[in-house]
Structure 1
Amino acid sequence: MPELPEVETIKRTLSPHLRGQTIAGVEVYYPGVIAVPDAATFIDLLAGKIIIRLDRRGKYLLFYLTAGYCLVAHLRMTGRLILTAATGPVLPHTHVVFRLAGGGALRWVDSRRFGRLYLGQEDEVTVAAGLKKLGPEPLDPSFDVATLAAICAGRRRPVKQVLLDQHLLAGIGNIYADEMLFLAGLNPLRPAASLTENELVRLHRAMRAALEQGIANFGTSFRDYVDGHGQQGKNQDYLQVYGRAGQPCRRCGCTLERVKIGGRSTVFCPACQV
């Protein structure tokens, strides 16, 4: 699933091309990807709307439109939003095409059909999409060590699970949770409440470093993720632990181990992460 750095990269690649564009029309090939409203209303409401700006909240992409409307996209496992020429064949797994008055098209492509689109007035659609339940943004300037400490306080769950809980922290997924815990030198099985003040400072610093690196490298591509131009990211070439179980730690040479935490595969160094 695209995580915070991937969705942020998509936002940044799409924004310069979509801001100020008028949606001339919408074609829906698979209505099941539209959560709200129904497909016919979705098409009618979008026609003629101007895209004012794009934003991101956690793993959600938000298109702010004229007349107070907002289009929310959650890519889930395999969703893609790709800018293309206006003409050309509809490729496999293309479920929605947004035609732009200035030329070109934005295509919603999703091989597994898990992604969802939500459209409505801003205050209503953010509730329908679940945005109101998200925790703070880990890259927001207001997210400090004290905020992280409050999130971890009293929680006996493994710190890896706390990092993945979208109600506590928005946008972090399996890849970046593993990476930030390695950078912080913390065992993912440690209860969140057991972290000391110094360890919380390290984790806070590592969270920013891992996420900022992912954005700087245009996201992590293993299978499905591409940016708004259909280009893969480069961050997979810089990962320290994720996907490297059984290989030597790049820091100490110890064999990286894999465990399941909350049903999620987790890779860590038993020597570097305590």
Structure 2
Amino acid sequence: MPELPEVETIRQTLRQLVIGKEMESVDIKWPKIIQKPDDMEEFKQLLVGQTIEEIRRKGKFLLFDLTDLVLVSHLRMEGKYGVFQKGEEIAEHTHITFHFVDGTELRYRDVRKFGTMHLFEKGAELDEKPLIQLAMDPLEEHFSFTLFAQKIQKSERVIKNILLDQTVIAGLGNIYVDETLFLAGIHPLRKGNSLTLSEIETIYQSAVLTLQEAIKQGGTTIRSYVNSQGQIGMFQQQLHVYGQTDKACRKCHDKIVKMKVNGRGTHFCPTCQQL
């Protein structure tokens, strides 16, 4: 699943391709992707004449600011956007096509069909699902460390599961939680209420550093991720623990271990991240 750095990279590359483009029509091949409104024809009609003015990101969500509306898009496991000329061959699993008046098209392709799109009036996108319960992400300017720390210290869950909870901190998935905890020197099975304020501060700073570096590298390509210009990410070359099972830790040379935490593959160094 694309995490914060991948979604941010997609946002940045899409901005170069579609800002200022006016929608002429929309084709929908897999209606279940459209969550709001529940009428596919209404969704299509509302978008006619709308211009893409800006693209924002909140956690793992893309927000397309249109003339009067906001389109909230979640890529889930395999969602991808690409911009094409009218008449170019349409790839398999292309489910939504936004046709622009200039003859170009924004196509949404999703092999797994898990992605979602919600359409809101401007200003209402944060007041309903899926964004109403979403926490701030660590790169937001007004991120509340105090609230973040309180949620952790009140929890009896293990820190791996807490950091995956998008109502505690948004944008982190399996890859960047493992990398953050390694950088912070915190074992993934530490319980939230066992962590000191200093340790939580280290986790937060480690998350920021990890995400910023991953964005610089264009995200992490493990399986099929590419940005909206078809380029893979390069952060996989800098991963310390994720996907590095039985390889030597870069810090202490002990072997990286993989275990299951609540069904999620979890990677850590038993020497650098002692329980």
TM-score range, shorter chain: over 0.9
1:178 and 1:213 map into 2 onto residues whose CA distance is: 15
Q: Relative to structure 2, which stretch is displaced further, 179-188 or 85-94? A: 85-94
Q: How many residues align?
A: 273
1:212-267: CA deviation from partner (whole Å, max 9, x where unpaired): 01111111111221111121111111111001112221211111111211221100
Q: Secondary structure in 2 aligned to 1:12?
A: helix
TM-score by length of 2: 0.94
2:256 and 2:62 map into 1 onto residues whose CA distance is: 34
Q: How does 1:109-188 map to 2 (within 5 A)?
A: 109-143=109-143, 145-188=145-188
The 8 Å contact of residues 96 and 107 in structure 2, kept in 1 or not, is answered as: yes
- The equivalent residue for 1:55 is 56
- The equivalent residue for 1:41 is 42
- The equivalent residue for 2:107 is 107
TM-score by length of 1: 0.95
Q: Secondary structure in 2 aligned to 1:27?
A: strand
Cα offset for 1:82? 1.2
Q: Relative to structure 2, which stretch is displaced further, 130-139 or 174-183? A: 130-139
1:149 and 1:231 map into 2 onto residues whose CA distance is: 36
1:3 and 1:92 map into 2 onto residues whose CA distance is: 24
Q: Relative to structure 2, which stretch is displaced further, 189-198 or 73-82? A: 189-198
1:142 and 1:200 map into 2 onto residues whose CA distance is: 17
2:210 and 2:196 map into 1 onto residues whose CA distance is: 21
1:84 and 1:175 map into 2 onto residues whose CA distance is: 31
- Structure with greater helix percent: 1
1:221 and 1:262 map into 2 onto residues whose CA distance is: 24
Cα offset for 1:273? 0.7
RMSD (Å) for aligned C-alpha atoms: 1.5
Cα offset for 1:167? 0.8
Cα offset for 1:128? 4.7
2:46 and 2:226 map into 1 onto residues whose CA distance is: 28
2:166 and 2:60 map into 1 onto residues whose CA distance is: 9
Q: Gaps spanning 5+ residues in structure 2: where?
A: none
- The equivalent residue for 2:273 is 273
1:53 and 1:228 map into 2 onto residues whose CA distance is: 16
The 8 Å contact of residues 158 and 188 in structure 2, kept in 1 or not, is answered as: yes
- The equivalent residue for 2:77 is 77
Cα offset for 1:154? 1.8
Q: Secondary structure in 2 aligned to 1:132?
A: coil
Q: Which amino acid aligns with 2:95?
A: H
2:154 and 2:32 map into 1 onto residues whose CA distance is: 41
